[in-house]
Amino acid sequence: FLEINSQPDRLDLRDANARLAGAAGLTLVVSSDGHSTGVLGYVELGIAQARRAWLTKEQILNTRPWAEIEKLKK
């Protein structure tokens, strides 16, 4: 999985690269990179990044139900 890091100081993966990753069939995760609950709102920035990349909810891992995600754990 690739991460779209929502921290305003980072905001990586760039939208253009996220779009290429999605087109290549990779699954991405939108992360707040949070080390405290105060930064959970940063996820909105990551979601905006994913939208600019034209990613669908099917391409974003953390839009799926937990039962589906848990099956992917190794």
What's the residue count for the chain?
Answer: 74
Q: What is the pLDDT of residues 25-70, one digit of tens each?
A: 999 999 998 888 988 999 999 999 999 999 999 999 999 999 999 9
CA distance 52 to 29: 15
Q: What was the pLDDT predicted at 33?
A: 85
CA distance 8 to 6: 6
Q: What was the pLDDT predicted at 72?
A: 86
Residue 41: CB atoms within 10 Å: 11
